């Protein structure tokens, strides 16, 4: 694990999906927290284009940052669907900064959105583990439980219906959260070489906004 000097407002720590980056000091909205950096890969060079790892961050059609280097602490930042930071891409300067889009309190995990494409392709199939998605699932479970208890009392009819198919219900409910380590591994491997694709769009969007 790379050392982080104490004047930085973050530290590496345990998160739900492995390691993550956490604030150690209040970080104001708009602050550039950390740079995502590494060797610049030129896709026109065969040797560069052949490099595959899970920390590739594509800046535009030509340039990609290889963020797998040890010193790139920003690589620990996890995806969230309701993030408190974003990746700020400058295609011209070929830099990426992770910037706070909310005020972040000490202890909070720092997250940014990896992008719709990445989500659809890799997180949705295995179930996104971000706090926002976990909350959504917990709420759905609670609602399902509440619906079950409210239909449990009234008529004999309802009772019969309930008794008719309890097994399938229980089964479908049991699946979501378990198998964490497996899906974690899937996430890790899914990240390989896909960040680039996911971030292209974001980069282009940002370029468009800047223009
Ligand atoms: Zn999510």
**C-alpha of residue 14 to centroid of ligand 1, in Å:** 18
Neighbours of ion ligand 1 (CB under 5 A): 81, 128, 130, 133
**C-alpha of residue 127 to centroid of ligand 1, in Å:** 8
**C-alpha of residue 204 to centroid of ligand 1, in Å:** 23
**C-alpha of residue 45 to centroid of ligand 1, in Å:** 35
**C-alpha of residue 87 to centroid of ligand 1, in Å:** 17
Strands 32-36 and 18-23: unpaired
Per-residue pLDDT of the chain (211 residues; tens, 9 = 90+): 677 777 899 999 999 889 999 999 999 999 999 999 999 999 999 999 999 887 888 899 999 999 999 999 999 999 999 999 999 999 999 999 999 999 999 999 999 998 887 788 778 898 999 999 999 999 999 999 999 887 765 555 544 444 444 444 443 433 343 333 333 333 333 333 334 333 433 333 333 333 3
Nearest to 69 by CA among 55, 58, 79, 90: 55
**C-alpha of residue 79 to centroid of ligand 1, in Å:** 7
Domains in the chain: how many in total?
A: 1
**C-alpha of residue 75 to centroid of ligand 1, in Å:** 18
**C-alpha of residue 83 to centroid of ligand 1, in Å:** 9
Q: Which two tokens stand for residue 109?
A: 């995990």
**C-alpha of residue 198 to centroid of ligand 1, in Å:** 15
Examine residue 210 and state whether it is found in any structural domain, yes or no: no
User: In CATH, what number is assigned to the domain containing residue 21?
Assistant: 2.170.270.10
CB 52 within 8 A of CB 14: no
C-alpha angle 77/21/109, rounded to 5°? Answer: 95
Examine residue 211 and state whether it is found in any structural domain, yes or no: no
Q: How crowded is residue 165: how many other Cβ atoms within 10 Å of its Cβ?
A: 9
Examine residue 205 and state whether it is found in any structural domain, yes or no: no
The model carries a pTM of: 0.67
What pLDDT score was predicted for residue 155? 53
What pLDDT score was predicted for residue 161? 47
Examine residue 136 and state whether it is found in any structural domain, yes or no: yes
Containing domain of residue 4, as a range? 1-197
What pLDDT score was predicted for residue 42? 96
């Amino acid at each position: 694990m790379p050392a982080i000097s104490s004047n930085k407002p973050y530290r590496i720590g345990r998160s739900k999906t492995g390691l993550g980056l956490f604030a150690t000091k209040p970080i104001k909205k708009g602050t550039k927290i950390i740079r995502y950096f590494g060797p610049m890969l030129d896709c026109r060079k065969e040797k560069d284009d052949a490099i595959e790892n899970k920390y590739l961050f594509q800046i535009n059609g030509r340039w990609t940052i290889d963020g797998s280097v040890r010193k790139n602490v920003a690589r620990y930042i996890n995806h969230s669907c309701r993030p408190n930071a974003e990746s700020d891409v400058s295609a011209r300067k070929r830099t990426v900064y992770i910037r706070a889009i909310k005020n972040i309190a000490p202890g909070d995990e720092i997250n940014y959105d990896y992008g719709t494409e990445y989500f659809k392709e890799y997180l949705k199939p295995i179930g996104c583990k971000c706090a926002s998605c976990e909350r959504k699932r917990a709420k759905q479970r609670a609602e399902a439980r509440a619906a079950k208890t409210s239909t449990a009392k009234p008529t004999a009819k309802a009772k019969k219906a309930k008794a008719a198919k309890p097994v399938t219900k229980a089964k479908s409910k049991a699946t979501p959260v378990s198998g964490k380590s497996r899906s974690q591994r899937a996430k890790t491997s899914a990240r390989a070489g896909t960040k680039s694709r996911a971030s292209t769009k974001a980069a282009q969007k940002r370029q468009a906004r800047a223009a």
